[in-house]
């Protein structure tokens, strides 16, 4: 399922999941089972980061079961996006096109959610919806990155400056800030 979703454009996946939400449910059942053996769970890392802060407007791109919103909505405003709305607080959409005004978010988070042949479009959407100096957090499996230096360079071409890249167990956590630079056309990030 991962390979199929990663190789397919998000609009195609979104349409397919709207017609067959059971596929999304099966994916998350398997994901929940897999993470029982993990030492580090990416969304829990983000929850810890948010719990040390308050008053942010957060976009959780690819929120899955919306665990982040469940844990921190008492101290932050959270917009949860995914192909399927697991509850009434999740906005079902293609993450390449979220329904938020420009510069609405203080933080955009992607926890194992840069899935889709066009995942660069998600990062462009994060840039559009983030305020100047807004935080971008990307946590992905370290094994996905073939060239982290190039990934960082490409993020900077999209209008971000990377603050830190940290390996946490089997995951890489990239923390970046939105700059005043406009994202350049033509760049497509690759793992």
- Band of the pLDDT at 3, cuts 50, 70, 90? confident
> Quick one: pLDDT band at residue 2, thresholds 50, 70, 90?
confident
pLDDT of residue 182: 96
pLDDT score of 1 more than 90: no
Average pLDDT over residues 3-20: 94
How many percent of the chain have pLDDT more than 70?
100
Secondary structure of residue 139 in the 3-state scheme: strand
Residue 103's pLDDT band, with cuts at 50, 70 and 90, is very high
Q: Are strands 105-111 and 130-141 parallel, antiparallel or unpaired?
A: parallel
Q: Which residue has 């990663």 as its token pair?
A: 6
Q: How confident is the model at residue 145 (pLDDT cuts 50, 70, 90)?
A: very high
Mean pLDDT of 1-13: 92
Q: Which pTM does this prediction carry? A: 0.96
Averaged over 160-185, what is the pLDDT? 97
- Per the prediction, the chain carries an average pLDDT of 96
In the chain, which residue ranges form alpha helices assigned H by DSSP? Answer: 2-7, 10-19, 21-34, 42-51, 67-72, 119-129, 148-157
For CA atoms 145, 154, 43, 177, the dihedral sign is positive
Question: In terms of CATH, what superfamily is 2-178?
Answer: Vaccinia Virus protein VP39 (3.40.50.150)
The rounded percent of the chain whose pLDDT value lies above 90 is 98
Domain spans of the chain?
Answer: 2-178
Q: 18 with 54: CB under 8 angstroms?
A: no
Distance of CA 70 to the CA centre of its chain: 17
Q: What is the pLDDT of residue 96?
A: 97
DSSP state of 142: G
What is the per-residue pLDDT across 30-68, written as a single tens digit (0 to 9) for each?
999 999 999 999 999 999 999 999 999 999 999 999 999
- Gap between the Cα atoms of 136 and 127, Å rounded: 8
pLDDT reported for residue 113: 97
148 contacts 171 by C-beta, under 8 angstroms: no
């Amino acid at each position: 399922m991962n390979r199929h979703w990663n190789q397919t454009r998000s609009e195609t996946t979104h349409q397919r999941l709207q017609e067959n939400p059971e596929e999304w449910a099966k994916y998350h059942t398997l994901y929940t089972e897999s993470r029982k053996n993990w030492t580090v769970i990416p969304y829990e890392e983000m929850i810890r980061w948010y719990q040390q802060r308050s008053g942010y407007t957060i976009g959780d791109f690819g929120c899955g079961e919306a665990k982040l919103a469940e844990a921190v909505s008492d101290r932050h405003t959270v917009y949860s996006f995914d192909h399927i709305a697991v509850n009434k607080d999740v906005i079902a959409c293609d993450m390449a096109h979220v329904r938020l005004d420009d510069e609405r978010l203080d933080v955009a988070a992607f926890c194992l959610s840069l899935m889709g042949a066009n995942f660069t479009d998600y990062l462009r959407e994060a840039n559009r919806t983030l305020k100047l100096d807004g935080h971008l957090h990307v946590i992905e499996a370290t094994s996905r990155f073939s060239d982290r230096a190039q990934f960082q360079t490409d993020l900077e071409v999209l209008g971000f400056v990377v603050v830190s890249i940290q390996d946490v167990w089997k995951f890489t956590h990239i923390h970046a800030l939105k700059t005043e630079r406009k994202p350049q056309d033509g760049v497509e990030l690759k793992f």
